[in-house]
Structures are given as structure tokens and as C-alpha cells.
Chains A and B, each alone.
Chain A
Amino acid sequence: MKKILQIIALSLFITSWGWAQKTEKTDVLNKMIQSFPSPVEVSSIIKKAGLKYNDKLLNPADNKSKYKDDYTKALNLGIYSTDLGYINIYQNNQNAFSYLGAVKTMADGLNLGKHMDLGAITTLAFENNLNALLAETSGTFEKMNNDLWEQKKAELSALILTGGWLETLYLTCAVARQKPNAAKQFQIKELNEQIAQQKIILDRLLTVLDKYKKGKQMKKLVSDLKDLRKLFVNFKLKGGAQVKTQYKAQRMGKLNILVYSSQKQKTELKIDPKDLEKIYAKSKDIREKIIG
């Protein structure tokens, strides 16, 4: 009797400890994946910079039938989602439906289509309720992500994220180099900064991808992204060490607004358009391998 009780107690301890360890590890990685900025943020910067909607930059929705394996489906699900975010920001309902179809095809191919409520998304699109539409689509992707984690297919989650991020980078570079004209590329400071800041996101993305670096395709992708990372090396994002930053909370109406103040004026990021052009070319190259 005593021995049985000892075994029960020991097995309960081991199970709970193992479970806690595993949950904590997957939880950290899952939360890391969820910390990535939404592509909508960049699309909004593009729109605010006064740039016109350009559907030629997107991965054509008709390409959806080309993607056969889980690897390309997951990457293109990410790419199409970013494209859909861009379309949503410009509220171009006509294109939204064909891209919604492309997202659904990719999601169905990965057994994730059940999480998409097309009826609700369509209604919100017609109502022009942007925030509710973004909340619905964001919720859809969270459900897909959680489903993949439960199915122990977290590497597909990481690939969806990678596709989405790469498309964001490519779109930003593509529009930035077109403005104001081919002779004077990369003239919009906000977009240039946005591209340079992707360095931080790429570092985090590589941390996630390194955990799933199995198989030829995945290894090649990580290697390509590491080559891309090298092109960001000249961007110094944090400013000089002599800049002392202070944080101060202020009230604005009913809001608490945190204002940063520094002894010197805010630091300018040093960005060479030649580096941006190289980043554009490399992101285009990796993207072309994915979209086919």
C-alpha cells in the first residue's frame, strides 16, 4: 500500500513538473510569435504617406492554385494575409473578396479554414467598419495559430508569420523606391525608417525560425533570411550613447500619455538608400521563390 502511494505521488509530481516545463516553453514561443507587429501598421504608414493603392505589388490571388505542399501554403497564407491587410486599409472591397478567397484556399489546404467566418468578414467589409473588420481577421489568425500549436505544427505558424513579415518588408520597399520617381528613390523618411526598423523584427523572427530549422526548404529559407539580415548591418537604431533619455507621464484629457524626453533632440537614423535598394532586391528574390 505504502509503495503504491509512493509511486502515485512520484508520478503525479513528475507529470506536473514535465507539463509545467513544456507549457512554459511553448507558451513563451507562442507569445513571441504573437508579439510581431501587424502588417496593417505598415500599410497605414504607406497610405498616410499619400501613396496610391497599387494591386500590381501584391501576389496575384490567381496564384493560389499553384501552392501544393504545407510549406508553400503556410508561407503564402502569410503573404496573402498581409496583402489583405493592405487592401483593408485602403478599403478596396473589390479586391478584398478575391484575396479573402486566396486566404481561405490556403487555410483550407492546411485544415484551418474552419476558423474563418466569411459571412462576418464580408458583412464588416460592407459596413466599412475597419476596426471591427481588423478585430475579426486578427481573431481568425489567432485561432489558426492556436490550432496549429495544439496540433503540434508550430513550424507552420512560424512560416505563416515569416510570409506575412516578408510581404510587409517587400511592399514597404517596393512603394518606397517608387516615390517620388525612379530617379529619386527612397525619399520618404518615414518609410525608410520603417524598413530599417525591420532589423529588430527580423532578429526576433530568426530566433523563432531557428527552433524549426529542419528539412531542406526550411534550412534554405533561414539561410536566405540570414543573408537578408546582413544587409541591415549599417542601420544604427538606438542612437549614440551620449543621448540620455528620460520618461515622463503626462495627462492629455482623460488619457495618461507617456512622453519621452531626451537631453538632445531625437536621434536621426542614418539610412543609406543603397542599403535599402539591396534589401529590396533580396526580399524580392526570397519572395519570388515563395510565390513562384
Chain B
Amino acid sequence: MMRRLLWGILFFVSLYSQTAFAQKCNIKQFKDKCITALQRQRGYTFLKSYPLDGQGGVKKKIKYSYILSRGTAYILTMANRRADAKGISVTISTSSGKTLLNSYDENKKKFHSTIGFNPKVTGVYYFTFEFQNTRNFCAASVLGFKRR
């Protein structure tokens, strides 16, 4: 019984310390990279930035939502410490959970650092960012828009 209790305490202590001492993630440099990538796409205006702090691997998926309007073209740029943003992907889904688009091309095993999205219906959409096959758990994403 004593041994079980000790193991239990050890488990909680290690869980806390894993979170507390997770690598510090400096988002700003990646956010700036995303804005630079956004500037390269003509006519797009900044809307919002998303910090993607995986807390050293504790969080593999980070979910955000946004109300997107029909008649507007949106773009999501992603950046991490790699030039090609390999290791970070995003899935766009509807409020009912239907997946619409994934930035990771399963067939070609390729990560796209920028994706475009033209909603036909105004509503709440979900962006689920995922760290895939990477030890790099710090990134950022920027949402931009332009009128179609």
C-alpha cells in the first residue's frame, strides 16, 4: 500500500515538473516569419496570430476557432525553426466536426507551410494544429484575409 502511494505521488510530481520545466517557447520570431510569408501573398491582410506552444511535447495538438465569412479568402501561414515548417500541420474543420482540409499531404508526405481557404458558408471553423514526427514543439501561425 505504502509503495503504491509513493508511486502515485511520484507520478504527480513528475507530471507537474514535466509541464513546469517544459522548454520555453519563443513565439515572436515565428510570428514574424509568418507575417513575412503573408506579405508575399499579394493582397492579404493580417487578422490574427496563433501561438503554438507544445510545451516540450506535452501538447501534441492545439485547437483554435474562428468565425470565417463567406465571400472572403483566408490564408494560414505556419512557421517553426525550420525553413519549410516541416513538423507542423493544420486541419480545418467545421463546427460539426467535418474535416475540410489538412495541410499535410499524406500521399507525398509533405508539409505545406501555407494554405488557402475559401469558405462558402459563414460560421465557426476550427483550426487544429498538430506537431507531427518532430521534436520541435514551438511554432506560430498567422491568419490573413482578402476579399474575393
Which positions in A face B, CB cutoff 8 Å? 1-2, 5-6, 8-9, 12-13, 16, 31-32, 34-38, 40-41, 44-45, 48, 130-132, 134-135, 138-139, 190, 193-194, 197, 200-201, 204, 237-239, 245, 247, 249, 252, 254-260, 262, 266
Q: When the two chains form their complex, are residues B120 and A245 in contact, meaning their CB atoms are under 8 A apart?
A: yes
Residues of chain B within 8 A (CB-CB) of A34 are 48, 64
In the complex, A31 Cα to B15 Cα: how many Å?
A: 25
Q: A16-B15, A44-B45 are in contact. List 17 more A-B contacts (CB 8 A).
A: A1-B2, A5-B9, A16-B12, A32-B65, A36-B67, A41-B72, A130-B45, A130-B46, A135-B31, A138-B49, A190-B147, A197-B122, A201-B67, A204-B124, A247-B101, A258-B92, A260-B121
- Among A2, A134, A256, point to the contact of B45 (Cβ < 8 A): A134
Q: Which residue of A lies closest to B146 (CB)?
A: A44
Residues of chain A within 8 A (CB-CB) of B92 are 258
Given known A36-B67, A249-B101, A266-B120, contact A9–B114 (CB-CB < 8 A): no
Q: When the two chains form their complex, are residues A13 and B12 in contact, meaning their CB atoms are under 8 A apart?
A: yes
CB distance from A249 to the nearest CB of B (A): 6
The majority secondary structure among interface residues of chain A is helix
In the complex, A202 Cα to B60 Cα: how many Å?
A: 32
Interface residues of B, count at CB 8 A: 52
Residues of chain B within 8 A (CB-CB) of A197 are 69-70, 122
Given known A36-B67, A44-B147, A135-B46, contact A200–B5 (CB-CB < 8 A): no
B23 contacts the other chain (Cβ, under 8 Å)?
Answer: no
CB distance from A241 to the nearest CB of B (A): 14
Q: When the two chains form their complex, are residues A134 and B122 in contact, meaning their CB atoms are under 8 A apart?
A: no
Residues of chain B within 8 A (CB-CB) of A134 are 45-47
Given known A37-B66, A135-B49, contact A255–B122 (CB-CB < 8 A): no
Q: When the two chains form their complex, are residues A194 and B119 in contact, meaning their CB atoms are under 8 A apart?
A: no
Given known A9-B5, A131-B46, contact A257–B64 (CB-CB < 8 A): no
Q: When the two chains form their complex, are residues A255 and B100 in contact, meaning their CB atoms are under 8 A apart?
A: no
Q: When the two chains form their complex, are residues A35 and B38 in contact, meaning their CB atoms are under 8 A apart?
A: no
In the complex, A174 Cα to B147 Cα: how many Å?
A: 20
Q: Which residue of A lies closest to B44 (CB)?
A: A131
In the complex, A134 Cα to B142 Cα: how many Å?
A: 12
B6 contacts the other chain (Cβ, under 8 Å)?
Answer: yes
CB distance from A81 to the nearest CB of B (A): 14
Q: When the two chains form their complex, are residues B49 and A35 in contact, meaning their CB atoms are under 8 A apart?
A: no
Q: When the two chains form their complex, are residues A41 and B69 in contact, meaning their CB atoms are under 8 A apart?
A: yes
In the complex, A266 Cα to B145 Cα: how many Å?
A: 21
Residues of chain B within 8 A (CB-CB) of A44 are 45, 145-147
- Among B41, B47, B101, B119, point to the contact of A38 (Cβ < 8 A): B47
- Among A2, A38, A238, point to the contact of B121 (Cβ < 8 A): A238
CB distance from B77 to the nearest CB of A (A): 10
